């Protein structure tokens, strides 16, 4: 009998210590990492008022009156700001299609959605502000009976869309898909529904705003785009041209900088996942602070994040696949209807992966959007692609069954050797290796492929797989690298840390290029006073900011080498600059002569070497198709009586070019697969169809995966050389883990039970309904 | 007197030992332990994720037991000893759980991390987690939206194994 004290499981070995861990990691585990909500009055010159938002309880109509008399008499209250007394803001343009591009806060009495911010209460303490906010009375006109909140009751709002996501075509027509589908030997025609769900980052939206005596504005908040936020503030508050859109253009085109009056400091984001760019609180705190003349902190409550921050909107997709006798796809037809807000331009790019996943001579995509009376949906991890692949990969599973092919074999037969929608050669593609590695790891070949055939310990067992694909994109970025007299380097670029590990990965790129130890390089980031670092979106930060850093660091290195060989005081004097190596902070000549970078720089006449680089101005335009690929393999068990679904194993294999830091990338991949599991089985933001209110605005009812939901999860990283795609060789792996995972789970549930679930999340009540209807 | 509720918000005197230092404080009866730590004492390592006891980000140790500080009224804990993330480990020597979180990359954005670590320290003291599955279950009050769960479980398991072999 085992000793009761024995630990029955062993921890996996920690990754090798030679792989750098997060540079900000000690601060994070010691509670010293600073997030926007952590900013105290001490850091703000002794004054920091607290704001609490008052939100609409109905989704339409007008505010008739805001009665703040009682609130204003309460202790510590400084201000109640509403449309009745708020300064007028100037219309802005949101580059990300955010709601505030169409709907500025507190400007008029019209109500656009439930949970809209109607007033802000500012007080000296959180308790005072909260109590006063509860005492603000709002009177409303009758709600609009025509208001619509779901796609099922869109009331004729559905319209074709020209563009989705960041500019992908809303309509795609390659070949003649309809006739090809009609005459195909095998046909699959399925419709999929996906529920809205929210990011629910652990850190809610938060912002601190302070106006200075010269009319300048400093805003600190978690954001994925500090420059974008600065421009929005500059536009909304009527600053001069130097603080408006030309600021971005001048930075991207020429790295030009001016003396700006708006400064945005991106704090560490406590999770973001697409949800922390250009939200309404960006404007609310500065608006209140302008009126009080004192710094203001606003932190949203968890419930408020449901309406004052974006989410992934509801979608419907019909997928039709036509294949010939050999299982070769002849037609892919996607018809999607996507929820959007009445304000906000964002439409889910559901087609992004669909047009690139498989070789098919005929592809037809028809996307429509319906503007609903809800707060606007927005970008969320794996936007579009994860929904598109849920539908396409579920349909592929059914096609495999119809054709009698193994699901993996079907995918291999339809492997896209070139980029399907453009015909371009891929820069690199290691999807087949991903399939092989994932299949081997989970034991794909050992399963009984017959539906509902496997059992373990009384539970039904099923295996499923899916293809993952995520496009490689590059955005413009500017980086400045400064090698100082002490041989230490400072790297500057205003990109953002949202938990992905940007600080560490970019510091590694700089250190490696400069030939310095990691500890000799310090990254300055997130502050719009630094060079333009781009948006932290689309898994493209390492490539976008990394390319600029690499180029600037290469220039610094070249300048250093050229100078040192001409410096008579250097032991390297007279050596050919081209022959020198720099590593671990030492310059080394082929003949063995060497000098520490710090020793050389101590003599440098300028005291430092400064170089700046701008990259990505063509937005990553390439003669090649560029994408990261992967595959998920899943084992589920289903209780035959309760229909409880448990993911027993989740294996993903991914190839995304060069991996700067395998520890961080593995964490990103695992985290995104956890997101896929949550999307598959748990996540749904419930709407009251009568009132348009989000109903489960808390973390007990809006389920996200917990530790107990995650059993055996593995990410395999496949080596891949993508220097043909970009000299840095990086593709980006932050989101691909969610793309495909929900389909792999759906396919595993089908294999286990014979029930095909086509609606996310796949809860056991849906499985029960499917069984009863079978 | 609060006009809205009719209850008195007059501050009450309490004594708390916070990270080993005794502090005499005056707190409003409505003030939570979490808001006292963050807003008054500026111990902002303890995070607010939901304010409803549903996410675990605000977990601290109260008399050695893990508690969600957002559901604890400060005035109800007169005389208690509180350990927050700031009270675990030193710059020179991290607490073993903190070190394991670093080694295993058991976090990403870091926002849930102080709560995860305090919860793990409490869990180890409770002594009823013996297996990976038990760790998963008993750590499920601490949400991590970045999905670092596999690494969190490994980090805790590694500390548990070390403790057993000592």
Strand, coil or helix: what is A360? coil
Give the mean pLDDT of B121-143.
96
Element holding A512 (H helix, E strand): helix A502-514
Chain A CB within 8 Å of residue B126 CB: no
Q: Same domain for A633 and A774?
A: yes
- Indicate yes or no: CB of B157 within 8 angstroms of CB of A710: no
pLDDT digit string, tens, across residues A150-172? 999 877 899 999 999 999 999 99
Instruction: Provide, as residue numbers in chain B, all residues whose Cβ is less than 8 Å from the Cβ of A698.
Output: 50, 52, 54
Instruction: Provide, as residue numbers in chain A, all residues whose Cβ is less than 8 Å from the Cβ of B154.
Output: 11-12, 14
- Indicate yes or no: CB of B154 within 8 angstroms of CB of A14: yes
Which residues 63-82 in chain B show a CB within 8 A of chain A? none
Q: Same domain for A527 and A500?
A: yes
- Indicate yes or no: CB of B164 within 8 angstroms of CB of A672: no
The nearest alpha carbon in chain A to B58 belongs to A202
Q: Is the dihedral of CA A654, A656, A658, A660 positive or negative?
A: negative
Mean pLDDT over the full length of chain A = 96
- What is the tally of structural domains in chain A? 2
Chain A CB within 8 Å of residue B32 CB: no
Instruction: Provide, as residue numbers in chain B, all residues whose Cβ is less than 8 Å from the Cβ of A134.
Output: 4
What per-residue confidence (pLDDT) applies to A6? Answer: 62
What per-residue confidence (pLDDT) applies to A570? Answer: 97
Q: Same domain for A546 and A631?
A: no
What per-residue confidence (pLDDT) applies to A711? Answer: 83
- Indicate yes or no: CB of A26 within 8 angstroms of CB of B94: yes
Residue A290 above 60 pLDDT? yes
Give the mean pLDDT of B115-139.
96
Instruction: Provide, as residue numbers in chain B, all residues whose Cβ is less than 8 Å from the Cβ of A135.
Output: 3-4
What per-residue confidence (pLDDT) applies to A572? Answer: 97
Give the mean pLDDT of A80-89.
97
What per-residue confidence (pLDDT) applies to A364? Answer: 98
- What is the ipTM score, two decimals? 0.97
The nearest alpha carbon in chain B to A131 belongs to B4
Q: Same domain for A466 and A481?
A: no
Q: Same domain for A599 and A710?
A: no
Residues ≥6 apart with Cβ < 8 Å to B153: A707, B132, B135, B136, B139
What per-residue confidence (pLDDT) applies to A140? Answer: 98
CA distance A292 to chain B (A): 20
Q: Select from A199, A272, A302 the Cβ nearest to the Cβ of B50.
A: A302
Q: Is the dihedral of CA A224, B112, A305, A735 positive or negative?
A: positive
Length of chain A (residues)? 774
Q: Same domain for A765 and A651?
A: yes
Residue A3 above 50 pLDDT? no
Give the mean pLDDT of A479-492.
98
Instruction: Provide, as residue numbers in chain B, all residues whose Cβ is less than 8 Å from the Cβ of A664.
Output: 105
Strand, coil or helix: what is A510? helix
Q: Select from B45, B88, B164 the Cβ nearest to the Cβ of A7.
A: B164
Does residue A278 fall inside a structural domain?
no
**A146, exposed or middle or buried, with CB in 10 Å at 0-12, 13-18, 19+?**
exposed
Residue B94 above 60 pLDDT? yes
Which residues 143-162 in chain B show a CB within 8 A of chain A? 143-155, 157-158, 160-161
pLDDT digit string, tens, across residues A200-254? 999 999 999 999 999 999 999 999 999 999 999 999 999 999 999 988 888 888 8
Residue B1 above 70 pLDDT? no
What per-residue confidence (pLDDT) applies to A397? Answer: 98
Does residue A764 fall inside a structural domain?
yes
pLDDT classification of A177: cutoffs 50, 70, 90 = very high
Domain encompassing residue A678 = 395-473+621-774
- Indicate yes or no: CB of A270 within 8 angstroms of CB of B109: yes
Residue B4 above 90 pLDDT? no
Give the mean pLDDT of A330-357.
97
- Do A501 and A22 form a contact (C-beta atoms < 8 A)? yes
- Domains in chain B: ranges and CATH: 12-87 (3.10.20.30), 96-165 (1.10.150.120)
Instruction: Provide, as residue numbers in chain B, all residues whose Cβ is less than 8 Å from the Cβ of A38.
Output: 38, 44
What per-residue confidence (pLDDT) applies to A258? Answer: 75
Does residue A551 fall inside a structural domain?
yes
What per-residue confidence (pLDDT) applies to B3? Answer: 54
pLDDT classification of A4: cutoffs 50, 70, 90 = very low
- Interhelix angle for A502-514 vs A541-566, to 10°? 30
Give the mean pLDDT of A422-426.
97
Q: Same domain for A693 and A552?
A: no
């Amino acid at each position: 009998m085992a000793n009761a004290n024995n630990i029955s499981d062993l921890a996996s070995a920690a990754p090798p210590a030679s792989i750098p861990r997060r540079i900000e990691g000690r601060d994070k585990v010691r509670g010293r990492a600073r997030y926007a909500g952590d900013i105290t009055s001490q850091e703000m010159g002794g004054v920091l008022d607290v704001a609490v938002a008052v939100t609409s309880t109905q989704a339409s109509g007008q505010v008739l009156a805001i009665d703040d008399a009682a609130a204003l008499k309460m202790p510590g209250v400084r201000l109640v700001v509403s449309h009745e007394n708020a300064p007028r803001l100037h219309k802005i343009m949101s580059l990300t299609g955010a709601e505030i591009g169409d709907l500025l806060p507190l400007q008029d009495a019209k109500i656009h959605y439930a949970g809209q911010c109607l007033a802000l209460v500012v007080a000296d303490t959180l308790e005072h502000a909260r109590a006063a906010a509860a005492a603000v009375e709002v009177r409303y006109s009758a709600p609009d009976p025509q208001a619509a909140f779901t796609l099922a009751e869109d009331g004729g709002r559905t319209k074709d869309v020209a563009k989705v996501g960041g500019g992908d075509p809303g309509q795609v027509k390659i070949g003649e898909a309809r006739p090809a589908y009609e005459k195909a030997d095998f046909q699959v025609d399925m419709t999929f529904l996906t529920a809205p769900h929210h990011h629910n980052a652990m850190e809610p939206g938060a912002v601190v705003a302070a106006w200075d005596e010269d009319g300048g504005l400093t805003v600190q908040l978690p954001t994925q785009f500090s420059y974008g936020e600065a421009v929005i503030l500059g536009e909304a508050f009527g600053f001069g041209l130097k603080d408006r859109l030309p600021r971005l253009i001048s930075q991207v085109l020429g790295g030009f900088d001016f003396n700006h009056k708006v400064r945005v400091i991106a704090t560490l984001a406590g999770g973001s996942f697409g949800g922390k760019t250009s939200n309404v609180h960006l404007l609310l705190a500065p608006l209140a602070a302008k009126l009080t003349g004192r710094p203001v902190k606003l932190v949203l409550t968890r419930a408020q994040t449901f309406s004052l921050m974006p989410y992934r909107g509801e979608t419907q997709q019909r997928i039709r696949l036509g294949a010939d006798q050999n299982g070769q796809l002849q037609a892919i037809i996607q018809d999607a209807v996507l929820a959007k807000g009445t304000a906000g331009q964002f439409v889910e790019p559901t087609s992004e992966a669909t047009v690139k996943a498989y070789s098919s001579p005929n592809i037809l995509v028809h996307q429509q959007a319906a503007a609903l009376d809800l707060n606007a949906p927005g970008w969320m991890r794996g936007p579009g692609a994860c929904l598109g692949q849920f539908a396409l990969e579920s349909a592929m599973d059914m096609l495999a069954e119809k054709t009698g092919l193994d699901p993996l074999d079907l995918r291999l037969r339809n492997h896209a050797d070139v980029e399907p929608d453009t015909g371009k050669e891929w820069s690199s593609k290691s999807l087949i290796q991903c399939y092989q590695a994932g299949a081997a790891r989970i034991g794909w070949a050992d399963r009984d492929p017959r539906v509902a055939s496997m059992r373990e310990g009384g539970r039904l067992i099923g295996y499923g797989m899916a293809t993952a694909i995520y496009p490689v994109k590059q955005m413009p970025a500017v980086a400045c690298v400064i090698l100082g007299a002490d041989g230490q380097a400072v790297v500057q670029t205003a990109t953002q840390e949202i938990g992905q590990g940007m600080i560490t990965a970019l510091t590694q790129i700089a250190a490696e290029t400069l030939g310095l130890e990691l500890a000799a390089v310090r990254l300055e980031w997130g502050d719009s006073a630094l060079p333009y670092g781009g948006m932290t979106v689309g898994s493209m930060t390492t490539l976008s900011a990394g390319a600029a850093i690499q180029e600037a660091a290469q220039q610094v290195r070249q300048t250093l080498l050229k100078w040192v060989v001409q410096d008579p005081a250097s032991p390297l004097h007279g050596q050919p600059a081209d022959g020198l190596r720099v590593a671990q902070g030492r310059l080394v000549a082929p003949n063995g002569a060497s000098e520490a970078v710090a020793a050389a720089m101590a003599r440098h006449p300028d005291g430092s070497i400064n170089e700046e680089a701008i990259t990505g101005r063509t937005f990553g335009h390439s003669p090649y198709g560029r994408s990261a690929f992967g595959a998920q393999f899943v084992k589920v068990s289903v209780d035959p009586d309760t229909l409880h679904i448990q993911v027993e194993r989740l294996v993903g294999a991914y190839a995304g070019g060069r991996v700067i830091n395998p520890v961080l990338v593995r964490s990103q991949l695992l985290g995104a697969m956890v997101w896929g599991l949550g999307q598959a089985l748990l996540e749904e933001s419930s709407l009251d169809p009568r009132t348009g209110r989000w109903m489960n605005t808390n973390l007990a009812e809006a389920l996200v995966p917990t530790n107990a939901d995650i059993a055996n999860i593995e990410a395999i990283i496949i080596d891949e050389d993508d220097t043909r795609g970009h000299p840095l060789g990086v593709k980006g792996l932050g989101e691909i883990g969610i793309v495909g995972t929900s389909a792999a789970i759906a396919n595993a549930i089908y294999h286990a039970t014979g029930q095909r679930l086509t609606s996310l999340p796949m809860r056991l009540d849906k499985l029960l309904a499917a069984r009863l209807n079978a | 007197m609060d006009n809205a509720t009719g209850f008195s918000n007059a501050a009450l005197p309490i004594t708390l030992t916070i990270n080993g230092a005794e502090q005499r404080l005056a707190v409003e009866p409505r003030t939570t332990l979490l808001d006292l730590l963050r807003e008054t004492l500026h111990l902002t390592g303890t995070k607010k994720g939901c304010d409803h006891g549903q996410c675990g980000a605000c977990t601290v140790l109260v008399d050695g037991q893990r508690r969600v500080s957002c559901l604890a009224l400060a005035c109800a804990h007169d005389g208690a000893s509180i350990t927050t993330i700031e009270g675990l480990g030193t710059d020179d020597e991290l607490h073993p759980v903190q070190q394991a979180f670093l080694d295993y990359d058991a976090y990403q954005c870091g926002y849930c991390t102080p709560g995860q670590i305090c919860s793990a320290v409490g869990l180890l003291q409770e002594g009823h987690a013996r297996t990976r599955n038990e760790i998963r279950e008993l750590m499920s009050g601490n949400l991590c939206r970045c999905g670092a769960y596999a690494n969190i479980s490994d980090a805790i398991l590694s500390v548990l194994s070390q403790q057993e072999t000592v």
